[in-house]
C-alpha cells in the first residue's frame, strides 16, 4: 500500500513543481523579469515531459493525474507564455488591440485543445496528436520571446509576433495531425534537417533559445508540409 502511494506521489509532485514554475513565471513577467519568466516556462515544459514519462514507467497514471496535468498545462504553458509575450510586446509598443487579442486567444485555444484531448480515448505509445499541443505552442512562443531578448537583430521581428501568436492559436484548435518526436527521429531526412537547423543556429546565434526556437519552427514546418502532402495524396 505504501509503495503504491509513493508511486503516484512522485509524478504528481513533479506536476505541482511545474505549476509552481508557471505561477512564478506570471508574477515575474508582471514585475519585469521577462528572462526569468521565460526560463521558468521552459523548466515547466521539461518537467511536464518528465511527469508523463514517469507516470508511464511507474504505472502511476490516474484520472487525478490527468486532470491535474491539464490544469497545470493551462497555467504554465498556456497562460504564462501569453503573459510573457504580452509584457514583452507591450514594451515594444505593438498595437494594443492586436496584442490583447492575441494574448487572450493563446490560452483560449490552449483550453480548447486540452478539453478536446481529455475527451479522446487514452492512447499508448508515441502517436500523432490532433492539433498542436499546448506544451509545444507555449514553449515555442516562449522561445520566440527569449530569442528576441537575446538577439538584437531579432530572429522574429516585432511586427510578426502577432501573426505568429494567431497562427499558434489556430494550430492548437485545428485538426491537423502533428507527429511525435519519435516519428520525427525515425525519419532520417527529417531528423537530419532539424538537427542541421539546430546545429547551425547554435553556432551562428548567441543564445541557446535561438537554436531551440529555430528547431521548434522547423518541427512546425515539417508537420505542416506533411499534413499538406497527406491532404493532396488523399
pLDDT at position 219 over 90: no
Reported as a single tens digit per residue, the pLDDT across 59-96 is 656 667 677 888 999 999 999 999 999 999 998 888 89
Q: Residue 139 has which C-alpha cell?
A: 514553449
Report residue 13's pLDDT band, with 50, 70 and 90 as the boundaries: confident
Of 12, 138, 115, which Cα lies nearest the Cα of 65? 12
Ramachandran sector of residue 130 (left: φ over 0; alpha: ψ -120 to 50; beta: rest): beta
CB 176 within 8 A of CB 110: no
Cβ burial, residue 101 (10 Å; 0-12/13-18/19+): middle
pLDDT at position 40 over 80: yes
Domains of the chain: residue spans and CATH: 2-233 (1.20.120.1760)
Residue-level pLDDT at 179: 86
Report residue 1's pLDDT band, with 50, 70 and 90 as the boundaries: very low
Residue-level pLDDT at 77: 95
Reported as a single tens digit per residue, the pLDDT across 112-162 is 999 988 887 666 555 688 899 999 999 999 999 998 888 665 667 778 899
Amino acid at each position: 500500500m505504501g509503495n503504491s502511494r509513493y508511486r503516484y506521489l512522485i509524478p504528481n509532485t513533479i506536476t505541482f513543481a511545474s505549476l509552481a514554475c508557471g505561477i512564478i513565471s506570471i508574477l515575474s513577467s508582471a514585475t519585469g523579469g521577462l528572462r526569468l519568466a521565460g526560463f521558468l516556462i521552459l523548466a515547466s515544459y521539461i518537467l511536464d515531459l518528465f511527469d508523463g514519462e514517469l507516470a508511464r514507467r511507474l504505472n502511476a497514471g490516474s484520472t487525478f493525474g490527468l486532470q491535474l496535468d491539464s490544469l497545470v498545462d493551462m497555467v504554465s504553458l498556456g497562460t504564462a507564455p501569453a503573459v510573457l509575450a504580452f509584457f514583452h510586446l507591450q514594451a515594444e509598443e505593438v498595437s494594443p488591440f492586436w496584442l490583447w487579442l492575441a494574448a487572450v486567444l493563446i490560452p483560449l485555444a490552449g483550453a480548447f485543445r486540452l478539453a478536446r484531448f481529455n475527451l479522446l480515448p487514452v492512447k499508448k505509445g508515441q502517436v500523432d496528436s490532433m492539433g498542436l499541443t499546448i506544451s509545444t505552442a507555449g514553449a515555442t512562443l516562449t522561445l520566440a520571446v527569449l530569442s528576441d531578448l537575446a538577439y538584437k537583430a531579432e530572429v522574429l521581428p516585432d511586427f510578426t509576433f502577432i501573426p505568429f501568436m494567431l497562427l499558434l492559436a489556430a494550430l492548437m484548435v485545428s485538426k491537423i495531425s502533428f507527429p511525435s518526436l519519435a516519428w520525427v527521429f525515425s525519419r532520417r531526412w527529417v531528423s537530419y534537417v532539424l538537427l542541421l537547423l539546430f546545429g547551425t543556429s547554435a553556432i551562428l546565434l548567441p543564445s541557446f533559445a535561438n537554436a531551440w526556437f529555430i528547431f521548434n519552427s522547423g518541427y512546425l514546418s515539417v508537420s505542416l508540409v506533411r499534413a499538406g502532402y497527406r491532404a493532396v495524396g488523399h
